[in-house]
Structure formats: structure tokens, C-alpha cells
């Protein structure tokens, strides 16, 4: 089997896949959909980070593609509906780089509260500005977290350990960590806190969720951070709030438009503002996080191809499977309609195949059936199951 890994995925992922017998091709930058159409010829596994867009056209053009690994948290760069329709399993790393993002957020909050960006720039110009004017401790200050998922929750705990009073808002009802206070609306949070940090997902409905109205609702001289997705913030509105002095500072790690590869030019209206920290989408880019992500996602891809395990898949029904030593394991991905189990077992019985163990799990419109056949399964049997009208994909593990 062949794997294609894009966007500088950690070498641990390459080593893990090669040690399991995969042929691995790596590329440093992202590919656009048209480039992917060619690059995926003969590829069974695709590994990407946040910039490569995996569209329906790409997935439908490559029915041999078994799985896509997103070596990051988000999966909005993948058409998940199309992946499900084409029986392409998708895996991501929902936990592996949360600590790295949390530490960057806290570091930027401290830097902006202490005006370290201004002090650093002045020192490099030979100006000794030893003054406490405008500098504050973060202890006792209020932090508002928009999006209380894995990153938001961990940031909540660590910020509280720094002595901050934490408030949060999420469209999903989430349990507070520690002494954090839940807000019933975004407006309530914005009018309460002195620092706002975004940790929302990349769904299309979040586009420009922060614009002029939201910045207007924030308290004067607040700090604003976005380490989530670039398209959730109206950059022109943020620029206006900063230049007017309504916001005291901002830190951004993501942008509506980002270069595809390192070294390419970057432009933003926020460049040159002394109270803004700009970083090149490196929230999860620490050695520890990238190593953890490389190990985690490659492990999920390997387990799916070797055993059929779909644990923590983004779009497949989840099944945790042990290795199957003798015979054949049939993986049947099908439309979730009544009678499929009976038809598969009838087909197996007609060909004299004895079922040793079987699991069927459904999720939405998809059914995932795993059948262990101790006496093996012939190509004729596999072809007969493929021919069932409900079948989307059949794979075997021996």
C-alpha cells in the first residue's frame, strides 16, 4: 500500500508507516485540489495538515483511497460528507497539540498585558523605556474563552492556575472546569471580560463571527486573540478596532488567506501595528505536539488498514478491533438500511463460509460490518458481497 504525506508531517509518521510495510511519499507543501487529482493516483492513504483541501471531486476520482489522516485538530479542510459517501475513513488528532496552543495563548496574553512587544521593539532600536505604565499582571484579570472544547477547557484550567477569572461561551452545553463561569450568550461574555480568545471550529457558519459589532461590544482597552481559524474574524474590523484604540492589543496565529508553504510571501492589514502579535499558524507547531500528532494519526491509519479499527474516526461508525490471526476479516461499508446483515450472512452461507465473529455498527446513513471468517474468504465471496446493492466498499484483512 502507498501513503502520500503532505505539509511537512513529522518524520515519526513516515517511520511508523514504513515500518508496517507502506510505501511513503512525502511533500513539503500543500496541494490544491487540481494537484491532488494527479498526486493521488495509486495512493491508498493520504496525510495532510490544515491547508490541503480534500474535495468531493478529489475523493470521487480516487475510489482506491481508503483513508485520510488530518495531522491536526480540524477537519473542515476535508469534505466529510463526500468522504462518508465514498467510504473514505477520516482520522484526526483532537488532543495531541492542545497543550501547545494553550501555552501560546497564555504567552501572548502575558506579552500583550505587559506591552512586551513595544518594549522589545524599543530595545532593538536602542531605547531604554523602563516604565510600568500600561503594564499589568494577568492575575486577577478576566479571561473570556469563546469555544470550550479540548483547547478551551485546558486553557481554562491553566489560566485559572495563573490567577485569572475565567468565563466561557459555547453553542454546545459544556460543563465548567474548575471555577470557570458559563455565559449564556456571546454578548454577555464580551461585556464581562478584559481578554477574549477564540477557540472555535472551522465550520462555514463561523465565517466572520467576529466583526465590527462584536468588537464594539468588547470592553474598551481589551485584548483579543484568535488561534482557531482565520475566516472567523473580519480582519478589517479588527484593524479598525486596534487603530482606534478601542482594543489594547491582539494576537493572531491564523488568517483568512495563508501561504501554502514556508517561505512564500504573507500580507495582512495588521502588519506594522505595534500592539499586534502575528505568528504563522504555529499554535500546534512544537516538537512535542508534532511528534505526538505524527504517532497518533499514523497509528490510527495503520490500525484501520491492518485490523479495520475505526476508533476515534471523524466520519465512520467506531469499532475497536483486536488483531485477527487466522482466516480473513471482511470489512463491509454499506448504506444503513434494513436487511444488510441478513444478506451478507446469506451470501457467506451460500459459499460455505463460517462466521467466527461479527460486529455491526451504524452512524447516520453508514453501516460498518466486520466479519471474521476462520476458514477464509475467496475472491468469489468478496465479489458477491461487493455486488450487493447496499455496498459502498469491501476490504479484507488476512
pLDDT digits 0-9 by tens, 133-175: 989 999 999 999 999 999 999 999 999 999 999 999 999 999 9
In the predicted model, what is the mean pLDDT of residues 211-224?
97
> What share of the chain in percent tops pLDDT 70?
99
Judge contact between 69 and 91, C-beta under 8 A.
yes
pLDDT at 378 over 90: no
Q: What is the largest CA-CA distance in the chain?
A: 87
pLDDT at 128 over 70: yes
Whole-model pTM? Answer: 0.82
Q: What is the rounded distance in angstroms from the CA atom of residue 98 to the CA atom of residue 87?
A: 29
Domain match, 304 and 225 both: no
* pLDDT tens-digit map of 333-366: 999 999 999 999 999 999 999 999 999 999 999 9
Domain match, 302 and 374 both: no
Domain match, 188 and 291 both: no
Domain match, 169 and 308 both: no
pLDDT given for residue 286 in this prediction: 92
Domain match, 84 and 6 both: yes
Domain match, 114 and 253 both: yes
Q: What order do you get walking across the sheet with 366-373 strand by strand?
A: 355-363, 366-373, 328-335, 391-397
pLDDT given for residue 202 in this prediction: 85
Positions annotated as catalytic residues are 229, 258, 281
Judge contact between 351 and 378, C-beta under 8 A.
yes
The residue segments making up the domain with residue 20 are 1-92+286-316
pLDDT at 398 over 80: no
pLDDT given for residue 203 in this prediction: 85
Q: What is the rounded distance in angstroms from the CA atom of residue 239 to the CA atom of residue 316?
A: 41
Domain match, 135 and 149 both: yes
Last residue of a domain, one of 316, 337, 365: 316
* pLDDT tens-digit map of 271-317: 999 999 999 999 988 999 999 999 999 999 999 999 999 999 999 99
pLDDT given for residue 325 in this prediction: 67
φ/ψ of 385, rounded to 5, equals -70, -40
Domain match, 62 and 30 both: yes
Domain match, 302 and 352 both: no
Instruction: Give me 390's grid cell.
Output: 447496499
Helix or strand or coil: residue 143? strand
Domain match, 105 and 231 both: yes
Beta bridge partners of 358: 371
Q: For residue 368, give the CATH number of its domain.
A: 3.30.70.260
Domain match, 53 and 171 both: no
- Of 9, 2, 40, give the one whose Cα is nearest residue 24: 2
Number of domains in the chain: 3
Question: Half-sphere exposure of residue 84, counting CA atoms within 13 Å on the CB side?
Answer: 17
Judge contact between 69 and 315, C-beta under 8 A.
no
Looking up cell 485477527, which residue turns up?
Answer: 324
* pLDDT tens-digit map of 51-100: 899 999 999 999 999 999 999 988 989 999 999 999 999 999 988 889 99
Q: What is the rounded distance in angstroms from the CA atom of residue 115 to the CA atom of residue 121?
A: 10
Instruction: Give me 292's grid cell.
Output: 505526538
Judge contact between 62 and 36, C-beta under 8 A.
no
Q: For residue 24, give the CATH number of its domain.
A: 3.40.50.720
* pLDDT tens-digit map of 169-209: 999 999 999 999 999 999 999 999 999 999 998 888 899 99
Amino acid at each position: 500500500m502507498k501513503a502520500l504525506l503532505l505539509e511537512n508531517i513529522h518524520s515519526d509518521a513516515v517511520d511508523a508507516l514504513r515500518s508496517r510495510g507502506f510505501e511513503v511519499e512525502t511533500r513539503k507543501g500543500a496541494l490544491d485540489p487540481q494537484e491532488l487529482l494527479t498526486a493521488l493516483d495509486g495512493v491508498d492513504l493520504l496525510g495532510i495538515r490544515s491547508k490541503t483541501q480534500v474535495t468531493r471531486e478529489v475523493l470521487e476520482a480516487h475510489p482506491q483511497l481508503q483513508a485520510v489522516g488530518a495531522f491536526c485538530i480540524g477537519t473542515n479542510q476535508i469534505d466529510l460528507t463526500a468522504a462518508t459517501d465514498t467510504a473514505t475513513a477520516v482520522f484526526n488528532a483532537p488532543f495531541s497539540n492542545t497543550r501547545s496552543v494553550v501555552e501560546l495563548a497564555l504567552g501572548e496574553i502575558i506579552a500583550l498585558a505587559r506591552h512586551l512587544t513595544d518594549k522589545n521593539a524599543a530595545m532593538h532600536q536602542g531605547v531604554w523605556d523602563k516604565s510600568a505604565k500600561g503594564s499589568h499582571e494577568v492575575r486577577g484579570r478576566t479571561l473570556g474563552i469563546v469555544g470550550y472544547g479540548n483547547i478551551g477547557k485546558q486553557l481554562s484550567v491553566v489560566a485559572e492556575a495563573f490567577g485569572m477569572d475565567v468565563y466561557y461561551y459555547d453553542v454546545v452545553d459544556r460543563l465548567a472546569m474548575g471555577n470557570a463561569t458559563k455565559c449564556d450568550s456571546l454578548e454577555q461574555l464580551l461585556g464581562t471580560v478584559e481578554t477574549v480568545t477564540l477557540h472555535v471550529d472551522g465550520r462555514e457558519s463561523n465565517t466572520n463571527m467576529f466583526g465590527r459589532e462584536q468588537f464594539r461590544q468588547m470592553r474598551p482597552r481589551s485584548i483579543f486573540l484568535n488561534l482557531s481559524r482565520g475566516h472567523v474574524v473580519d480582519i478589517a474590523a479588527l484593524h479598525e478596532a486596534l487603530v482606534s484604540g478601542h482594543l489594547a492589543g491582539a494576537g493572531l496565529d491564523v488568517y483568512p488567506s495563508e501561504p501554502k508553504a514556508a517561505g512564500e510571501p504573507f500580507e495582512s492589514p495588521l502588519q506594522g501595528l505595534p500592539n499586534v502579535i502575528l505568528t504563522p499558524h504555529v499554535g500546534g507547531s512544537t516538537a512535542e505536539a508534532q511528534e505526538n500528532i505524527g504517532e497518533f494519526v499514523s497509528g490510527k491509519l495503520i490500525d484501520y488498514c491492518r485490523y479495520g479499527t475505526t476508533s476515534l474516526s471523524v466520519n465512520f461508525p467506531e469499532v475497536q478491533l483486536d488483531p485477527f490471526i487466522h482466516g480473513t476479516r471482511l470489512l463491509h461499508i454499506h448504506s444503513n438500511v434494513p436487511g444488510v446483515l441478513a444478506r451478507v450472512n446469506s451470501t457467506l452461507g451460500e459459499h460455505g463460509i463460517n462466521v467466527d465473529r461479527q460486529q455491526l455498527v451504524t452512524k447516520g446513513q453508514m453501516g460498518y460490518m466486520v466479519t471474521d471468517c476462520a476458514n477464509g474468504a475467496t475472491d468469489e465471496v468478496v465479489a458477491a458481497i461487493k455486488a450487493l446493492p447496499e455496498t459502498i466498499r469491501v476490504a479484507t484483512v488476512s
